[in-house]
Amino acid sequence: MWVITVPAIWDLRAKQFMRECAKKAKIAHDQIMLALEPEAASIHCRRVPVGVQTEGDGRKIIAAMAPGAQFIVLDQGGGTTDIAIHEVTGENTLKEVHQACGGHWGGITVNKQTFYDYSLENVIRELEKLLAKKELKDVQTLLVVGGHSASTVLTEALKTKFPKIGMVIPKDPGLAVLKGAVLFGFDPGTITSRVARFTYGIGTTRAFEKGDPESKKIIVDGVEKCKDVFDKHIEIGQILEVGEDKYLQEHEYVPLYKDQKSVDFIFYDTLNKSPKYVTDDGCRRIGSLHFKLTEQMTGKRTMALKINNSGTELVSLVTEIATKKQSKGYFRLPSDSN
């Protein structure tokens, strides 16, 4: 089993790209899992007593947190800055309480920009926005990991800016993700829930309604239909329980044409909570799922689609109602993706 760590701020297309690379490296699909880097770091620091780069007894400070305690994970790597907020749910379990955020403010920017200013300004601004949120008012601890977190320029700037927040820095901050990934590989159930970073939905058609743009009108078997409708399955900020069986409520669809032999479900994401059409600003095509219909079926061929986005990837399950035929899978990258 291979565990590949990826930034939490990566979208589904980037994660799927990693799977495509693994496939080319001859790693079987069922022998790889993706671990989010801030989660891996949290798991390591929760399970293993860690010393810190400060005077005094900082040992076990993360591991000793009681259920309900919340802390920020700042994973300051070479390329990206990943920020996640976790809550302790049990002796060895955690849940995400806010969607991951961050940017390309890692260590390499020290070389590319005028030293540290660019990285520090962006990291501090992002942390300030998080700490200003009412729902995060109880956060009192900042766990700093990643290779760039060994920089005293970074850590001293954080201590100066956030003097009321307790800071925990493992002695080997660059290894926290690696060690946590090993633990995650043995027990993926350590993370009990995550927060959706995007709104996810399917492009579909429905009856044409008053107010729909004329450009969306199509005629199918003499009936006016509206194309490019965004059918929402997951909303940004939604809490998603983790588990292979944690599929969300199913949505039903029927083939657009009577003689269709297959269906391609096209998936989109957006930062908008309630988009109306898949062509709205900010909507991106992220992949597709191909489903072959049973040829001998006649009449209404209803399909039920449900998705599970509680893991580090998005899994879909489509069922042909009449025959109970199912197809489960991950996504193909769209051919026009950048």
Per-residue pLDDT of the chain (338 residues; tens, 9 = 90+): 999 999 988 888 888 888 889 989 999 888 998 999 999 999 988 876 554 444 444 445 677 788 888 999 999 988 889 999 999 988 888 999 998 899 999 888 888 887 889 999 999 999 999 999 998 988 888 999 988 888 889 999 999 999 888 888 887 888 889 999 999 999 888 888 899 989 999 999 999 999 999 999 999 888 999 999 999 999 999 998 888 788 888 999 988 888 788 888 899 999 999 999 999 999 999 888 888 888 766 666 888 999 888 777 778 888 888 888 888 766 555 544 44
Q: What is the pLDDT of residue 83?
A: 94
Q: Encode pLDDT of 179-190 as tens digits.
A: 999 999 998 888
CA–CA separation, 228 and 230 (whole Å) = 6
Q: What is the pLDDT of residue 201?
A: 94
Q: What is the pLDDT of residue 37?
A: 92
Q: What is the pLDDT of residue 26?
A: 94
Q: Please tell me whether residue 272 adopts helix, strand or coil conformation.
A: coil
Ranges of H-type helices in the chain: 12-24, 37-47, 108-112, 117-131, 152-161, 176-186
Q: What is the pLDDT of residue 52?
A: 45
CA–CA separation, 71 and 252 (whole Å) = 40
Q: What is the pLDDT of residue 46?
A: 82
Reference 268, options 255, 253, 254, 278; nearest CA is: 278
Percent composition of the chain: helix, strand, coil (DSSP 3-state, to 5) = 25, 35, 40
Cβ-Cβ contacts under 8 Å for 189 (sequence gap 6 or more): 93, 242, 243
Q: Which residues pair with 230 in a beta bridge?
A: 203
Q: Encode pLDDT of 306-334 as tens digits.
A: 988 877 777 888 888 888 888 876 655 55
Cβ-Cβ contacts under 8 Å for 85 (sequence gap 6 or more): 70, 71, 72, 73, 96, 97, 98, 130, 136, 139
- pTM of the predicted protein model: 0.80
Q: What is the pLDDT of residue 58?
A: 45
**Residue 123 corresponds to which tokens in the numbers above?**
């990291």
